[in-house]
A and B are shown apart, each in its own frame.
Chain A
Amino acid sequence: MRHERVGHTLQASALVNEAYLRLIQIKQVRWHDRVHFIAMASRIMRRILVEAARAKGFHKRGAGAQKVSLDEALLVQEGPSPDFVALDMALSALEKVDPRKCKVVEMRFFGGLSVEETAEALHVSAGTIMRDWRLAKSWLARELEGLQHHDA
């Protein structure tokens, strides 16, 4: 049943809009421009993915909510990834505490930028990005766990 939905998700959802197309094609663009474009677009990307997940009801409050994640729905096998809606909430919380770390996660996870590219976009060193990234991941993991407990 879930797999039947996949096709719909892919073809009909708001995922595939101009911004998304550009993200896919942007690899052709000069590196410098690409970094700045993706840095800007990563927020849009986050919203698109979260909206898509929300529209499909992948986030259901209540028992078992965390079981259905978007990438699972997309049949991607590479590593687990969180419930996008919950992640979105956790990121919003992180933004209040430390806006830059939120940006780092947006750019790296939603925008697909490397550590160096993120560093370029945020005008800080790669080392700083690595530290931000590590702490942000710990913080988000803790927050997601909390959300889950809260839901349950």
Chain B
Amino acid sequence: MTPERWATIEKLYHEALAQDAADRGRFLADACAGDEALRRDVRSLLEHDGSAAFLSTPAVVQVGHVIPTDSSLIGKAIGPYAISARIGAGGMGEVYRARDQKLGRDVAIKILSKDFTSDPERLARFAREARVLATLNHPHIGAIYGWEEFGGVGALILELVEGETLAERLEHGPIPVKEALTIARQIADALDASHEKGIVHRDLKPANIKITSDGDVKVLDFGLAKAASNGTTGPDRAQSPTITVTGTRDGAILGTAAYMSPEQARGQTVDKRTDIWAFGCVLYEMLTGRAAFAGPTVTDTLGAILERYPDWTKLPSATSAAVRRLLRRCLEKDCRVRLHDIADARLELDDAPLPGPTDPATKSGWPWRAWVAIAFTLAVAIGLGVWALSRDRRPDTGGPLLRLEINPPDGGRFGVVGDVFVRQGPALALSPDGRTAVYGAAVNGRYALWLRSLDESVARELRGTENAQFPFWSPDGRFLAFFANGKLQKLDVAGGPPFVICDVPRVFGGAWAPDDRILVGILAGTIASVPASGGTLSPLTTLDHSRGDVAHVWPQLLPGGRFLYWGASTKVEDNGVIYAASFERPNERVRLIASETSAVYASAPDGREYLLWQRGGTLLAQEFDTTTLTLAGEPRPIADAIGVVGSAAFIAVAASPNGTLLYANATLQRLTLFDREGKALGTLGDAGQYQGLRFSPDGKQVASTRIEAGRELVLIDVDRRVSRRATFDSRGGFNPQWSPDSRTILFMGDNLTALYRKDATGTAPDQRLASWPILNADITDWSRDGRSLLNTRAADETGADIWVVSVPPDGHLTADAEARPYLRTPASETAGRFTPVPNPRWVAYQSNESGRAEVYVDSFPERRGAHRISASGGTDPQWGPGGRELFYRSADGKVMALSLKPEADSLDPSAPRELFALPPQSTFEVAPDGQRLLVTVRDTTAPALNVIVNWPSLLKSSTTR
């Protein structure tokens, strides 16, 4: 068949299909014009059209359903590794025996499970850790040869150690003392070598210790517990191997729990002393044939670890006094008095076996046992989103630290910590007794408050709380107050419909005083109060105009008839301040601390009081005396990456007086590259809260500010897709602008009050160029001839204006650098960008002069008349290569593009064309090639709500660590 003939058949086939079925015969007869063979050919094809099921299920899907993955690898090759048998399975994945065909040796290969590899960040982190661990080289440590990825499959290449595990060996009973000590020495050697390198095993147990037929000991899986943990959610979650490694399989949990140190069981930071504890457990078990701490359930086991001592009478009589002493020193519950250095164990182990005394009786009673264990168990089953606490917490004792996570209701998600004005914004509150959490969650598009009692395993929706914001509790814990639909309302938690207390304007937060007054923070207003029984709002504070006050919001109650609030002012020094005042004299306020966001008052079970506030996304606690209204000591970090809404000065944190803390994680973004059609090409760097994106002119790097990570500047390598922190001690790195040669970056540091210069190619220290007024901090572009900056400056009379700052030839800008207004009108002009050419002739910007934000282009250096570019709303203009194209965001959130002729005075702009819709609340930056767009896409994984029980103990542990 000729191609022409086939083309004709194809054309007629589709044309005939476009006809009504009844007309097709006639159509074909006409179209074929007597070519009977052609007509028959097309007709027979048409007759075979429409078999919907034919080829409908892809072959790969059909087969994929039935191939069991656990056996799928045997007899296959992955890279150079020919897999011959399955050795075992763990939480991280399957382990196979394989032959490295390149190096001609047998290895063990751990293929990471899917839920592991589906998280690229976790995978990348694991790969990094694995490479560090691969540097461990010791005869008694099972070597990690390396980490390999094959088409999305992650695999850890391990030394293949033949022989039985110590756990298998112990199934046959205790090990003779002499042999046990020989094994113990080798384990101690292995630990000593790894501790020397700063690597903690974290999951030492008999199942991880292999004994070869020659009696040689190999300790396996060094550090993998930490490597495998999900390190993105908190500093201490990586400490516990069980939670992340073995998942929810009870046997495995039990198997690991028995060797956990008390600090691990409490979720505290661990160090090498945790390995020493586990070493003691293993030695005890070798000598006695029974676990040092064991129980029928995880609960009992953890209770034993925290509260009981091993039964020393079970040690064989041949155990020397030195070994008994060693065991006791290894199994000290307080890690500060535990054996510090495993090398010391060698000395004791070398002593000759001698009979020794027995130990005092065990202690009884475990006040924390039940709920520590329950909480632990549930933390293990974090996926279920279940949590619990004891009913009989005694407020006068500290108790162990616990971290728990609350998951959204089934099929739902928490409110977005991105914008407090969106109806589904953040909402969380903790009852005064710390036993009940309330939080906003959307299920099936319906957003309401949900209540979870700590004694129960499920949450329930609170009826009548749809679209409620900023909930808070009555002091007696009976009522919950919240704002919804322009009204302040209260709800009896036990049941019944909500009661409207009063109408409210837009509000920022509320608090319920013991005298049944409710305080409300009014946006662009002051703190006002209303009786909880109903009434009208009356102002409590007044704005201090002499200090430039513009708002008093986010009230919090303090003891003794006082309250605190966050105040905003136009004065730089009072830009954001936490104030305290009394109900009696509400306008005699005490300035507590400058803070960009609100603060939370928290008292601890031991009677100490704290102010909780945040800096750079880190929640800080500072001792706070509410009688003298003074802060004492240094603020100390208690949680990272907490939910903050900078624009509203809001922190998503709630505290109860018994030391329980509830907070939301920051909603993170992924920097995602898109092509012009809106197809995602991949992500760059880590998930974070990014502000300001700037490509280097050579397109190789992106500079941005990680708001949640200390507000530091980060540089992202576009090809390698990795990011590195670029500022360390400049107190934030904002509004980066690249020099034309992509070698230097100007940015704002010192909390937006100074201009810095950074060498982007090397490690030269950053250079502080000049103090820079905070109101002028918004530098939006650096021209490609290096001579000018565009700088948005705020003025009382003319709003935001665009200025041009001249850069001296040596680049050394000073505070008195020559600057001239480029666009100064009563409207607000912002977001100026030069055409990206050596002699820029144009500036694109946005202005609200028409009543809404539109994109304009005007000539440069002198304005000769603005060309309006966007038709119905536009922001964030950016140029394509050579200034021949302009991109912007339309009012409905789409990236628009149009072509221009920068050499023509008329510009000759084409009609804007839609490229693609941006994700909600995203920002974008066009790459210098004009072909790719970098977009901040909100991480779709639901942000978690976190609970820390007994958070004040974090402060103690940080001093004794």
Q: Which residues of A approach B to under 8 Å, CB–CB? A: 10-11, 15-18, 20-32, 37, 45-46, 49, 70-71, 74-76, 78-82, 84, 97-98, 105, 108-113, 120, 131, 134-135, 137-142, 145
Q: Is B21 an interface residue (CB 8 A)?
A: no
Whether B78 pairs with A109 at a CB distance below 8 angstroms is no
User: Which listed residue, A70, A98, A138, touches B48 by the CB 8 Å rule?
Assistant: A138
Q: Are A108 and B58 in contact, with the CB atoms below 8 A?
A: yes
Q: Does B63 contact A (CB under 8 A)?
A: yes
Task: Count chain B CB atoms within 10 A of each CB in A75, A137, A138, A142 and give the residue with the most.
Answer: A138
In the complex, are the beta carbons of B118 and A28 less than 8 A apart?
yes
List residues of B (678-701) whose CB comes within 8 Å of A's CBs: 679-682
Chain B positions within 8 Å of A71 at CB level: 57, 59, 62-63
Please, could you name 5 A-B residue pairs with CB atoms under 8 Å apart, sorted by A? Answer: A18-B150, A26-B151, A30-B680, A45-B59, A110-B60
Assembled-state Cα–Cα distance A119/B287 (Å): 67
A30 x B681 contact (CB < 8 A): yes
Q: Are A76 and B10 in contact (CB under 8 A)?
A: no
Query: Which B-chain residue is minimally distant from A143 (CB atoms)?
Result: B48
Min Cβ gap B251→A in Å is: 28
Contact partner, A98, options B6, B59, B64, Cβ 8 Å: B6
Return B45 CB to nearest CB of chain A, in Å: 5
Report the bound CA distance from A25 to B71 in whole Å: 14
Given A23-B60, A25-B151, A111-B60, A137 contacting B114 (CB threshold 8 A): no
Partner of A79, one of B57, B63, B69: B57
Docked complex Cα distance between A74 and B65 (Å)? 9
Q: Which residue of B lies closest to A139 (CB)?
A: B45
| New A-B pairs, 12, CB < 8 Å, besides A22-B150, A113-B58 | A10-B67, A18-B78, A22-B153, A27-B152, A29-B151, A79-B56, A108-B58, A110-B59, A112-B58, A135-B13, A139-B48, A140-B54
Is residue B66 within 8 Å, beta carbon to beta carbon, of the partner chain? yes
From A18, A76, A105, contact of B65 by CB (8 A): A76
Chain B, 32-54, CB within 8 A of any chain A CB: 44-49, 51, 53-54
Tell me the complex Cα distance, A37–B72, Å.
Answer: 20
- B343 at interface, CB cutoff 8 A: no
When the two chains form their complex, are residues B682 and A32 in contact, meaning their CB atoms are under 8 A apart?
yes
Q: Which of these, B54, B56, B68, B75, contacts A141 with CB under 8 Å?
A: B54
Q: Which of B77-123 contact A (CB under 8 A)?
A: 77-78, 114, 117-118
Q: Given A30-B681, A139-B45: A37 and B13 within 8 A (CB)? A: no
Given contacts A28-B118, A137-B51, contact A49 B153 (CB under 8 A): no
Given known contacts A74-B66, A76-B66, A135-B14, A112 and B59 CB-to-CB distance under 8 angstroms: yes
Q: How far is the CA of A18 from the CA of B45 in the complex (A)?
A: 38
Q: How far is the CA of A144 from the CA of B628 in the complex (A)?
A: 91
- Given known pairs A32-B682, A80-B54, A137-B55, the reply for A45 and B152 (CB within 8 Å) is no
User: Given the complex, which residues of B lie within 8 Å of A111, measured CB to CB?
Assistant: 58, 60
Which of chain B's residues has its CB closest to A112's CB? B58
Query: A80-B53, A135-B10, A141-B48 known; A18 and B76 CB under 8 Å?
Result: yes
Chain A CB within 8 A of B632 CB: no
Minimal beta-carbon separation of A150 from chain B (angstroms): 15
B537 in the interface (beta carbon within 8 A) = no
A138 x B66 contact (CB < 8 A): no
Cβ of B494 under 8 Å from chain A: no
Q: How far is the CA of A137 from the CA of B65 in the complex (A)?
A: 24
User: Are B55 and A142 in contact, CB atoms less than 8 angstroms apart?
Assistant: no
Binary flags per residue of B9-20, CB closer than 8 Å to A gives 1, else 0: 010011001000
Question: Chain A nearest CB: distance from B435 CB in Å?
Answer: 41
CA gap between A81 and B681 in the complex, in Å: 34
| Chain A residues closer than 8 Å to B75, beta-carbon distance | 16
* Inter-subunit contact A49/B117 (CB<8 Å): no
Partner of A109, one of B17, B44, B58, B679: B58
Contacts of B78 in A (CB 8 A): 18, 21
Minimum CB distance partner of A73 in chain B: B66
Residue pair A17, B58 in contact (C-beta under 8 Å):
no
Kindly list chain B residues whose C-beta atoms are within 8 Å of the C-beta of A134.
Answer: 17, 49
Q: A15-B67, A22-B152, A80-B53 are in contact. Are A28 and B117 (CB under 8 A)?
A: yes
- Closest CB pairs A-B (n = 10): A112-B58, A141-B48, A79-B53, A112-B60, A28-B152, A22-B151, A138-B48, A29-B152, A142-B48, A138-B45
CB distance from B6 to the nearest CB of A (A): 6
Q: With an 8 A cutoff between CB atoms, is B73 at the interface?
A: yes
A21 to B682, CA, bound (A): 23
Most buried by A among B17, B72, B73: B72
Cross-chain contact of A32 among B46, B60, B64, B679 (Cβ < 8 A):
B679
Contact B14 A74 (CB under 8 A): no
B61 within 8 A of A: yes
Q: Is A138 in contact with B69, judged by CB distance below 8 angstroms?
A: no
Say yes or no: A145 contacts B48, CB within 8 Å.
Answer: yes
Contact of B54 among A16, A31, A137 (CB under 8 A): A137
B723-772 interface (Cβ within 8 A of A): none
Give the complex CA separation of A80 and B77 in angstroms: 33
Residues of B within 8 A of A78 (CB): 57, 62
Contact with A along B401-421 (1 / 0, CB 8 A): 000000000000000000000
**Which one, A31, A81, A120, contacts B55 given CB within 8 A?**
A81
CB < 8 Å neighbour of B63 from A25, A49, A82? A49
Report how far A98 CA is from B13 CA in the complex, Å: 15
Asked if B904 is an interface residue, CB under 8 A from chain A, the answer is no
Q: Judging by beta carbons under 8 Å apart, are B6 and A18 in contact?
A: no
- Counting chain A CB atoms within 10 Å of each CB, which of B59, B66, B71, B152 scores highest? B59
In the complex, the answer to whether B58 meets A138 with C-beta atoms within 8 Å is: no
CA of A17 to CA of B75, assembled, Å: 8
Least Cβ distance of A56 to chain B in Å? 13
A27: chain B residues at CB < 8 Å are 152
The reply to whether the CB of B22 lies closer than 8 angstroms to some CB of chain A is no
Residue in A16, A84, A97, A142 whose CB lies within 8 Å of B67: A16
User: A16 and B72: CB pair below 8 A?
Assistant: yes
**Chain B residue, CB-CB nearest to A16:** B72
Within 8 A of A (CB), among B123-157: 150-153
Contacts of B45 in A (CB 8 A): 135, 138-139, 142
Min CB gap A71→B, angstroms: 5
A71 to B60, CA, bound (A): 10
Chain B residues lying within 8 Å of A84, measured Cβ to Cβ, are 59
Q: Which chain A residue lies CB-closest to B61?
A: A112
The docked-state distance in angstroms from the alpha carbon of A78 to that of B63 is 11
Chain B's closest residue to A29 (CB) is: B152
Given that A16-B72, A75-B66 are contacting pairs, would A141 and B59 also be in contact in the complex, using a CB cutoff of 8 Å? no
Q: In the assembly, what is the distance between CA of A23 and CA of B78, in Å?
A: 13
For the complex, what is the distance from the CA of A135 to the CA of B45, rounded to whole Å?
8
Q: Chain B's nearest CB lies how many Å from the CB of A69?
A: 10
| Chain B min CB distance to A100 (Å) | 11
Complex Cα spacing A24 to B118, Å: 13
Name A134's closest neighbour in chain B (CB-CB): B49
Residues of B within 8 A of A145 (CB): 48
Contact for A10 among B47, B66, B114, B679, CB less than 8 A: B66
Q: In the complex, which residues of chain A have a beta carbon less than 8 angstroms from the beta carbon of B54? A: 80-82, 137, 140-141
CA distance A16 to B69 in the complex (A): 10
Q: Do residues B118 and A105 form an inter-chain contact, with CB atoms below 8 A?
A: no
Which residues from A are CB-within-8-Å of B10?
98, 135
Nearest A residue to B53, CB-CB: A79
Residue of A nearest to B675 (CB): A32
Task: Name the B residues within 8 Å of A137 (CB-CB).
Answer: 48-49, 51, 54-55
Contact A49–B59 (Cβ < 8 Å): yes
Chain B nearest Cβ from A66, distance in angstroms: 13
| Cβ–Cβ contact A81 & B1, under 8 A | no
Give chain A nearest CB distance to B103 CB in angstroms.
19
Alpha-carbon separation in the docked complex, A136 to B274 (Å): 65
Establish whether residues B66 and A25, one from each chain, have CB atoms under 8 Å apart when the complex forms: no
Residues of A within 8 A of B65 (CB): 74, 76
Contact of A21 among B1, B47, B73 (CB under 8 A): B73
Kindly identify which residue among B6, B17, B46, B680 contacts A31, using a CB–CB cutoff of 8 Å. Answer: B680
Q: How far, in Å, is A28 (CB) from chain B's closest CB?
A: 4
